[in-house]
Amino acid sequence: MQTLVKNFIAAAAVLLLAGGLAAGLPAVAGAGDATSPAISPAPADPGLTATATPASVRAGRHLTVAAHIALPGATLQLSRMRAGESFFRPLAELIAGARGNASWIVQPARSGTYRVEFAGDADWAPATADVFVLVRPNIGLTLAPHGMVVKGQRVTARVRVTPAHPGDLVDLQVWDRAAQVWTVLRTLTLGSDSRARSSWRTDAVGRLRVRVHMAADVDHGAGNSRARELRVLDPRNPYGVPTKYPRLILVDLSKYKLFYHEHGKIVRVFDCVLGRPSLPTPRGHYRIYAKDPIMGGPYGPRRMRYLGAYAIHGTDEPWLLNRFPRNYSHGCTRLSNAHILWLYSHVHVGTPVWNVP
């Protein structure tokens, strides 16, 4: 009997509890209660990126720093921190375009890091993107003489570096064709004007290739000048005439001399008169296309034509050959009458004629 009463009371309690819940009585508050405060979503990453094109330039050249962000219309700040500095200096501000792109043209003088910054807002997190730009110095190199030299002749190299690096060292290098490497000819110290000069004598026939190399420092990457090339000629053939030509006439316009070659070697040298300033003797490579055996007057006894009316011939004004400079003709090359007779007898139609500066 007592057991039956206990069971009845327990069942009634369960029914009362169920009914209260169904009637909307409050339940015990917990972690999932609708009255708990809401958690706001974290600001989104705007995906800011930056690039530099090109990533390496010579000092003073232009390059482009470009940025992309997933938020069109965002305000982006460009700053720069050079090597050795401890903070970024603001440079310029831009608004990203409809596709989230922005770009700046910069002209760096020294290496450094460029930073693009987005300050962030309620929906987007702050972001930065860095890009490093390597700046190389401008190294100028000139050689004198240029083009061609004769073995044993002195060559002078002049070097200039910008931005200025007074007191720094540069290497004057020559190309070793056998080993296929640049080797140091000598090391030069830049003066207070960031210039240096050096001279040396050529000691081998062939092509001489020269450049200047400067090592990297805190402000600039390593740099090289443009390579300069000289032809070093055999003293017996200072103009580098190929040996394949049985006969060749070469007129040096700066020396007022005609050099007659056979198989690359100079056989005879003659003084000559050349064209006046208003009718200069033409430069270039030609061939004799006609020989005129009977002439006279201003042409002397013989004439050999190589370009239209331009020719090599004698003269009726031999005294002009004793002057210097000798610019008196209408563009032709005049020899003494004795010399034109000798030359005429040694060359044939088709003989090359080189008029060189």
Range of the domain at 338: 248-356
Is the residue at 323 inside a domain? Answer: yes
Is the residue at 43 inside a domain? Answer: no
What would the DSSP string read from start to end of 222-243? Answer: -EEPPPEEEEEEPTTSTT---T
**CATH code of the domain containing 265:** 2.40.440.10
Number of compact structural domains in the chain: 3
Looking at the fold, whether 306 and 225 belong to one and the same domain comes out as no
Looking at the fold, whether 152 and 166 belong to one and the same domain comes out as yes
Domain limit, last residue, from 76, 108, 136: 136
- Amino acid letter for position 78: L
User: What does the mean pLDDT of the chain come to?
Assistant: 89
Paired strand residues for 257: 252, 271
Is the residue at 7 inside a domain? Answer: no
Is the residue at 242 inside a domain? Answer: no
Is the residue at 35 inside a domain? Answer: no
107 touches 192 (CB < 8 A): no
220 touches 135 (CB < 8 A): yes
pLDDT of residue 35: 55
Question: What distance in Å separates the CA atoms of residue 211 and residue 183, rounded to the nearest whole number?
Answer: 10
Q: Average pLDDT across each block of 10 residues of the chain; the chain has 357 residues. List them in order.
A: 43 42 42 57 93 96 97 97 92 96 96 97 95 97 85 93 96 95 97 97 91 96 96 84 94 93 90 94 96 92 95 94 89 95 96 95
Looking at the fold, whether 187 and 254 belong to one and the same domain comes out as no
Looking at the fold, whether 132 and 143 belong to one and the same domain comes out as no
Question: What distance in Å separates the CA atoms of residue 176 and residue 279, rounded to the nearest whole number?
Answer: 45
Place of tokens 């007191």: 167
pLDDT of residue 37: 62
Question: What distance in Å separates the CA atoms of residue 123 and residue 74, rounded to the nearest whole number?
Answer: 12
Peptide bond into 145 cis (omega under 30): yes
| The overall pTM is greater than 0.85 | no
Could you tell me the sign of the dihedral formed by the alpha carbons of 162, 168, 174, 180, in that order? negative
Is the residue at 67 inside a domain? Answer: yes
349 touches 305 (CB < 8 A): no
Range 265-288 burial, b when 16+ CB lie within 10 A, else e? ebeeebbbbbbeeeeebeeeebeb
- Amino acid letter for position 224: N
**CATH code of the domain containing 218:** 2.60.40.10
Nearest by Cα to 225 from 241, 238, 210, 239: 210
Structure tokens at 120: 């962030």
Nearest by Cα to 330 from 352, 313, 348, 355: 313
pLDDT of residue 34: 52
Looking at the fold, whether 304 and 338 belong to one and the same domain comes out as yes
- Amino acid letter for position 162: T
Looking at the fold, whether 91 and 108 belong to one and the same domain comes out as yes
77 touches 117 (CB < 8 A): yes
Looking at the fold, whether 264 and 283 belong to one and the same domain comes out as yes
Looking at the fold, whether 214 and 155 belong to one and the same domain comes out as yes
Domain limit, last residue, from 206, 233, 260: 233
Looking at the fold, whether 132 and 199 belong to one and the same domain comes out as no
Domain limit, last residue, from 233, 256, 289: 233
Looking at the fold, whether 193 and 171 belong to one and the same domain comes out as yes
pLDDT of residue 38: 63
Looking at the fold, whether 301 and 266 belong to one and the same domain comes out as yes
Give strand ranges (E) for 19-68. 49-53, 56-58, 63-68
Question: What distance in Å separates the CA atoms of residue 225 and residue 81, rounded to the nearest whole number?
Answer: 27
Is the residue at 30 inside a domain? Answer: no
Is the residue at 99 inside a domain? Answer: yes
Question: What distance in Å separates the CA atoms of residue 320 and residue 340, rounded to the nearest whole number?
Answer: 15
Looking at the fold, whether 76 and 97 belong to one and the same domain comes out as yes
pLDDT in tens, 245-274: 999 999 999 989 999 999 988 888 899 999
